[in-house]
Amino acid sequence: MLMSDLTGNFDTGRLPKIAPGSVTVTISRTPRAGKRDEFDQWCSDMQSAVQSAPGCLGATVLKPERDSNVYHMVFRFVDALHLRAWERSDERQQLRERADELVESERVTVTAGTEEFFRAQGEVDRHRSAIGKFIADVAWIYPVALIIAIAIAPHLAKLDVVPRVLVSTFVIAATSKYTTGPIRRWWRRKRMLPQNSEVR
């Protein structure tokens, strides 16, 4: 069975920079038809194993509601290094092998950071030099400034320089906060720990 990707393909030494705080993993699993009782026992065994792993801060299994067949397991580690140790442990491998005949499909989401417990880590900037960060900021602001110069500036030509600059600044700031900002966070999130990775 293909092992779920919990910490990505990053070198172990990079993990503290990529996910500097605690890490929460949410896994949604659908058991195979006729295997629900066995899967219940497997979930209990997996939960116990995760809870006893070094660095685990807790684990729980949320059983499906009446009209669903999807189980959710949520567990949390103090950091990504401990999560990787669990991911590569023999005990996890053995449990995953047992799941071959029990699990129809699963989906994994990894959330990094203590303050945003159930949100994916998208707020943490990737490690860059000051020059690299400046170039990245310019690369995001330049298209906005270009659009303003082409589409909006001609309509502001009749204004005095102070209100014209004020309006341009306001548009750039609002666009950065509500458009390019969320896109940048989404882009960082996609390049970090696995999000909504699906197995099977």
Instruction: Break the chain into its structural domains and give their ranges.
Output: 1-200
pLDDT tens-digit profile of 116-173? 434 433 333 444 566 777 787 777 778 878 887 888 878 878 888 888 888 888 887 8
pLDDT above 80: residue 113 = no
Please classify residue 19 by burial: count the beta carbons closer than 10 Å to its beta carbon, then call 0-12 exposed, 13-18 middle and 19+ buried.
buried
Nearest Cα neighbor of 78 from 20, 27, 7 is 20
Please classify residue 35 by burial: count the beta carbons closer than 10 Å to its beta carbon, then call 0-12 exposed, 13-18 middle and 19+ buried.
middle
Please classify residue 129 by burial: count the beta carbons closer than 10 Å to its beta carbon, then call 0-12 exposed, 13-18 middle and 19+ buried.
exposed
For the entire predicted model, the pTM comes to 0.58
- CATH code reported for the domain at 1-200: 3.30.70.100
pLDDT tens-digit profile of 45-68? 999 999 999 999 999 999 988 788
pLDDT above 50: residue 115 = no
- Beta bridge partners, 199, equal 106
Q: What is the residue-averaged pLDDT of the chain?
A: 79
| pLDDT given at position 122 | 39
| pLDDT given at position 100 | 87
Helical residues (DSSP H) of 67-180, grouped into ranges: 80-87, 90-98, 130-147, 153-156, 161-175
